[in-house]
Structure 1
Amino acid sequence: MKHRQLPLVSLAAAWIVSRALMLWLLAHNTERLLGHGSVAREVWRLYFHWYGILSNGSFPTQDTLWQYPPGAGAVLMSPGLLPGLTYFQAFVTLTLATDALVTAVLAHAGRRPGRSLMGAALWTGGLPLLLHIPLARYDVQVTSFAVIALLTLSRSRRACGVFAALGALVKVWPVLVLLGLTRGRATRSAWTWAALTGAVGLGLFAALFEHPLAFLEQQGGRGVQIESLGGTALSLARHAGWPGRSRYRYGAIELVGPHVSAVATASLVLTAVAFGLLLLWRVRARRWNEATPFDTALCAVLLFTVTSRVISPQYMIWLLGLAAVCLTSRHTVQRPVAALVVAATAVSAVAYPAFYGEVTACTWTGVALMLTRNGLLATAAVLSYTRLWHSTRPTPTTPTTTGRPHPTPHHTPQDALTTS
């Protein structure tokens, strides 16, 4: 028993030490290499400003920075539940608490028969690679919904659907975790409960707040962020004579100039292609195991992230969380993809905040950093889809299935997917 407890003690110690270091970095975030205070400013200035508007019963309107679904309002108002602390202190406290919850959920899942603590280890060690950024963004909270949704699959499809919908109300992408569910009753149950939860949630926000859909107008106006794949291509083009320049718009540094609209359109087309590829996989897939929903979620979010017009550093939090879920299962095919995600995360922290000035100025150093980070992500996306595709294709010795997964020789009854 003591031998079994040792990894958990080590994991807890690593979490405490690494989070203390992240807090130290946040306390010293005015240093040049830590962003001159720009990381923390997002919370104490922008989030707090929105908190004041939300407290008066309305979502921000005519605010180009408000680009989030109504559920984000609940997250941004939650620091008000902790009296005696400033908004900034309460926000960081709740983010740390959510981080601890994600770690605990991953560790609990990893201790089940046939599972692994590698997922909890990846989350514990991977998140600090982003320095203090995770503590000053609400993406840890968003990721927690996706992680919990996936890890409740073996017990309750209804709970999976509810948590996925709650996450989607906050930042849309968690709904993608439902793509990899087995066909039949399992999928219908999860999607039904997700739809019901989403409808009830939207109804509550519409009843309690004015302008709950104000974010849609701002999302449509976004251009090509400098850190996206399209932005990297345009940054390279500047060295070949392209006359465009960078400008602060919609809460990010975007590129403006000739052909930018074409690049933005190409990104949207690629996103549609990614969706088509996922649908094709869904139609052709014949084999499921306990890790297939996890692997599909990581693959889907990778594809949509890589093809997006925006790839902010905090997006790596989503990928780390989903990669961690994959690694809780010994049947995952995404281990090399998880390694690429960790590498891309480390490069992201170098690009922002340390050398963000080089990135926005499109210097060769900045371009090289973005080429490396985005190259790793693009490689991860292609590899993830390829491995997912092959892992679910029928083999000569394995009959096909349209409903329940076929347990592998290493499956135990507790690991087999069930429907609720």
Structure 2
Amino acid sequence: MRSRSRLPALCALACAWLAGRALTLWLLSRDGRAPLGVGGVAREVHALYARWYETLATGAFPAGDPLWQYPPGAGAVLAAPGLLPGLTYFRAFVLLALAADAAVAVALARAGTRTGRSLRGAALWTGALPLLLHIPLARYDVQVTALAVFSLLTLERFPRAGGAFAALGALVKVWPALALLGAPPGRVTRRSWGAAAVTAGGLLAAATVLFRDPFDFLRQQGGRGVQIESLGGTVLAFAHRAGLPVRVDYRYGAMEFTGPYVPGVATASLALTAGAFAALLLWRLRARRFGAATPYDAALAAVLLFTVTSRVISPQYLVWLLGLAAVCLTSRHTGQRAPAALVTAAAAVSSLAYPLLYEDVMACTWTGCLLMLARNGLLVAAAALALRRLWRSTAGERLPARPRPPASARAFPDARRHHQETQNGVK
């Protein structure tokens, strides 16, 4: 009966998904044309990913390539399009991205039809992802987000599967490991964390045996600077407007700031990341109440904290946050509705910054500076609010319960008024 009552909502979600993805495909076909700003969003798939695929097909990772900064699992995602016959690498990549997007929508909708759940999560994912225009189809972050979403949605009923999905995601991009941060203590934590360790260890061993240079990415990752779209980059952009000697250069596959003040900002970002890790560790040690939504809320808060303190906040990072926010909204008990709204607003502003007005961001014009201040300000507010609500719901002190009136006071108004006057000490 419940499935039938929600059938119109599910049909509406399916129609909205089809319409939104048709729009993103059309935008992808117009990449580089007006009014899409600097364009070139799909250039990474055409040139960079396809070149990496050719190297991976020889049994080696792109060793020595300063742009290769990803764990070994990324190789599997980038090699997958080559397995689809009859398609160019680009078309196969877009098709797999759409398939992952659809899988996330179906998983969220299925979770939303359970008792005590909501379809708001599926609605958020369906409606908010197109705010990023065609970026999700030209990056592999949707595939990574799918693994994190599957991990969270299976964690309670199938802890080992949840741990395995988190490990798979972490081997592609490290952040999905945070999906297990809020696992309830006891059986769920033991089984999920154990499965994650076994899965990650086995796959890393296989990558070491089957491929050459699987860990070269660690050497390249350490050379990253401060990207212009990061929180530290926003500070440096205003410093540039104030006349300080900082400039924007193309380094390590991104536009980064260079100059005498940049190392200090990079160090501050690393310190903030360490502080975020310490705060999350303290929360885990102090948390006492784990509800149905706690794993979801903890994952969103953790990824938000690590995102805003990062030296790099690429626009595709919003795909991660939208996916985790959608998982939170599948539960009626989540405390992350306001952070989810802030993340959605940040996604809309982010698409203005890239690709529409990216030339202003690169030139550090007032328009570009204010856009990045708005986007990063929304993310900082979302991170602070998410951590505060997570802490209060799980580790904060419970508020004392208000005394309940006796049955007679609830049944008769005069008795209720007498009860209230007695409680207040009034005759």
**Which bracket does the TM-score occupy, shorter chain normalised?**
over 0.9
Instruction: Specify the alignment match of 1:164 in structure 2.
Output: 166
Instruction: Specify the alignment match of 2:68 in structure 1.
Output: 66
Instruction: Specify the alignment match of 2:44 in structure 1.
Output: 42
Instruction: Specify the alignment match of 2:87 in structure 1.
Output: 85
Instruction: Specify the alignment match of 1:253 in structure 2.
Output: 255
TM-fit CA distance, 1:389: 0.6
Post-superposition Cα deviations, 1:354-381, rounded to whole Å, max 9, x if no partner, equal 0000001000000000000000000000
CA contact (8 A) 2:39 2:355 kept: no
1:319 is the counterpart of 2:311:
no
Instruction: Specify the alignment match of 1:146 in structure 2.
Output: 148
Equivalent residues in 2 for 1:10-21 (5 A)? 10-21=12-23
27 and 396 in structure 1: CA distance in 2 versus 1, 3 angstrom threshold = closer
CA contact (8 A) 1:286 1:394 kept: no
Larger displacement relative to structure 2 (372-381 or 30-39): 30-39
What is the identity, as a one-letter code, of the residue corresponding to 1:339?
A
Instruction: Specify the alignment match of 1:336 in structure 2.
Output: 338
Post-superposition Cα deviations, 1:175-218, rounded to whole Å, max 9, x if no partner, equal 00111011123212111110000001101111111000011011
Equivalent residues in 2 for 1:270-309 (5 A)? 270-309=272-311
5+ long unaligned stretches in structure 2: 402-427
Instruction: Specify the alignment match of 1:417 in structure 2.
Output: none
What is the identity, as a one-letter code, of the residue corresponding to 2:309?
T
Match of 1:254, SS state, is strand
- Relative to the length of structure 2, the TM-score reads 0.92
- Relative to the length of structure 1, the TM-score reads 0.93
Equivalent residues in 2 for 1:321-400 (5 A)? 321-392=323-394, 393-395=396-398
What is the alpha-carbon distance in structure 1 between the residues aligned to residue 71 and residue 24 of structure 2? 28
What is the alpha-carbon distance in structure 1 between the residues aligned to residue 399 and residue 313 of structure 2? 41
CA contact (8 A) 1:148 1:160 kept: yes
Bigger Rg, which one: 2
Instruction: Specify the alignment match of 1:218 in structure 2.
Output: 220
What is the alpha-carbon distance in structure 2 between the residues aligned to residue 41 and residue 260 of structure 1? 28
TM-fit CA distance, 1:284: 1.3
What is the alpha-carbon distance in structure 2 between the residues aligned to residue 103 and residue 389 of structure 1? 29
What is the alpha-carbon distance in structure 2 between the residues aligned to residue 241 and residue 250 of structure 1? 25
TM-fit CA distance, 1:37: 4.0
TM-fit CA distance, 1:394: 4.0
What is the alpha-carbon distance in structure 1 between the residues aligned to residue 37 and residue 193 of structure 2? 41
Match of 1:97, SS state, is helix
TM-fit CA distance, 1:221: 0.5
TM-fit CA distance, 1:36: 4.4
5+ long unaligned stretches in structure 1: 399-420
What is the alpha-carbon distance in structure 1 between the residues aligned to residue 211 and residue 54 of structure 2? 13
Post-superposition Cα deviations, 1:270-308, rounded to whole Å, max 9, x if no partner, equal 000000000111111111110000000000000000000
CA contact (8 A) 1:119 1:327 kept: yes
TM-fit CA distance, 1:241: 1.5
What is the identity, as a one-letter code, of the residue corresponding to 1:395?
R
What is the alpha-carbon distance in structure 2 between the residues aligned to residue 259 and residue 199 of structure 1? 40
TM-fit CA distance, 1:397: 5.8
Larger displacement relative to structure 2 (216-225 or 25-34): 25-34
Match of 1:246, SS state, is strand
* Structure 1 ranges of 4+ moved more than 6 A: none
Instruction: Specify the alignment match of 1:129 in structure 2.
Output: 131
Instruction: Specify the alignment match of 1:402 in structure 2.
Output: none
RMSD: 1.0
What is the alpha-carbon distance in structure 2 between the residues aligned to residue 188 and residue 223 of structure 1? 37
Post-superposition Cα deviations, 1:67-117, rounded to whole Å, max 9, x if no partner, equal 000000000000012100000000000100110000000000000000000
Match of 1:152, SS state, is helix
CA contact (8 A) 1:287 1:394 kept: no
Say how many residue pairs are matched: 398
What is the alpha-carbon distance in structure 2 between the residues aligned to residue 377 and residue 33 of structure 1? 26
What is the alpha-carbon distance in structure 2 between the residues aligned to residue 35 and residue 191 of structure 1? 44
1:231 is the counterpart of 2:233:
yes
Instruction: Specify the alignment match of 1:405 in structure 2.
Output: none
What is the alpha-carbon distance in structure 2 between the residues aligned to residue 375 and residue 3 of structure 1? 40
CA contact (8 A) 1:69 1:169 kept: yes
Post-superposition Cα deviations, 1:50-75, rounded to whole Å, max 9, x if no partner, equal 00000011000111110000000000
TM-fit CA distance, 1:154: 2.0
TM-fit CA distance, 1:30: 1.8
Instruction: Specify the alignment match of 2:413 in structure 1.
Output: none
> Of the two structures, which has the highest relative contact order with CA contacts closer than 8 Å and spacing of 6 or more?
1
Match of 1:31, SS state, is coil
What is the alpha-carbon distance in structure 1 between the residues aligned to residue 393 and residue 387 of structure 2? 10
CA contact (8 A) 1:143 1:318 kept: yes
195 and 5 in structure 1: CA distance in 2 versus 1, 3 angstrom threshold = same
TM-fit CA distance, 1:145: 0.4
